[in-house]
Amino acid sequence: MILADENVHGFIIQTLRDAGFDVIYVGDNAKGIKDEKVIQLALQHDYILLTEDKDFGEWVFAHHIEGLSVLFLRYSFHEFQEIAGTAVNLLSAHAPERPFFATITTKKIRIRKL
Q: What is the DSSP letter of 41?
A: H
Question: What share of the chain in percent tops pLDDT 70?
Answer: 100
Quote the pLDDT of residue 48.
Answer: 97
Phi, psi of 6 (to 5 degrees): -70, -10
End-to-end CA distance of the chain, in Å? 19
Taking each helix axis from N to C end, the angle separating 10-18 and 80-93, rounded to the nearest 10 degrees, works out to 30
Concatenating the DSSP letter of every residue in 59-90 gives: HHHTS---S-EEEEE---GGGHHHHHHHHHHH
Quote the pLDDT of residue 50.
Answer: 98
pLDDT at 94 over 80: no
Q: How many domains does the chain fold into?
A: 1
Residue 79, domain CATH: 3.40.50
